[in-house]
Structure 1
Amino acid sequence: MDFLKMMKQAKQMQEQMGTLQEAVNELSVEGSAGAGMVNVTLNGKGEMTGLKIDPSLVKADEVEILEDLILAAHNDAKAKGEALVQEKTRDLMAGMGLPAGMKLPF
């Protein structure tokens, strides 16, 4: 393989990685808990961008239940986001002809 061809492929891969990172940053995933009484929205970086709580859960004597549901909804959204990122990464790697087990830098 000649050097120029290798450099061109490396540049293409770098551009595709940038495209993947942009797509990941634009992701929005929602997790829920308590039969939908708590919903959390995360972006592709795992940052919380939204939180919805059913008003019936806001009771002074049930704060621990509410805290548990928020944590569960966050973990649900995080797991969904990670699965979506893995799927997009696999799709990109398949398109570049890279081995399925190759780890990408994020």
Structure 2
Amino acid sequence: MFKGLGDMGKMMKAAQDMQEKVGQLQDDMAAITVVGEAGAGLVKATSTAKGELVGLDIDPSIFSGDDKEVVEDLILAAIKDAQAKAKEREQEEMGKLGESLGLPAGMKLPF
């Protein structure tokens, strides 16, 4: 009569396990870094896979002259590149987690 309750318990346990794994992966994203570049590497922006900017490296050679706007553009381009790489890395890691949980390829986590 209550046979379905065991299956429901398994589903709840699986959902809880998945929630814990997603939470752990999100914590791990803070430790994974990516580097975005602009100006052939003259400006580099480092970001966590969560998209938090954690570093900026600017080659001093770009400060010669009155190229303030060029420098600003390079900085923005490097930051945007780092953010795009962070988003890509996050999706890649979430995809790996989904596959390990037996979810269909392309299913986005968290739901």
Per the normalisation by structure 1, the TM-score is 0.90
Match of 2:83 among 72, 78, 82: 78
CA RMSD, Structure 1 to Structure 2 (Å): 1.6
Q: Is the 8 A contact 2:94 2:108 kept in 1?
A: no
Instruction: Show the counterpart of 2:25.
Output: 20
Matched, 1:4 2:30: no
Structure 1: state its 5+ residue gaps. none
Structure 2: state its 5+ residue gaps. none
Instruction: Show the counterpart of 2:58.
Output: 53
Matched, 1:33 2:20: no
Rounded to whole Å, the distance in 2 between the matches of 1:35 and 1:103 is 33
Matched, 1:105 2:110: yes
Per the normalisation by structure 2, the TM-score is 0.86
Matched, 1:42 2:47: yes
Aligned length: 106
Please report how far the alpha carbon of residue 60 of structure 1 lies from its aligned counterpart in structure 2 after TM superposition.
5.4
Q: Deviations over 1:26-55 (max 9, x none)?
A: 111111111111111111221211111111
Please report how far the alpha carbon of residue 10 of structure 1 lies from its aligned counterpart in structure 2 after TM superposition.
1.0
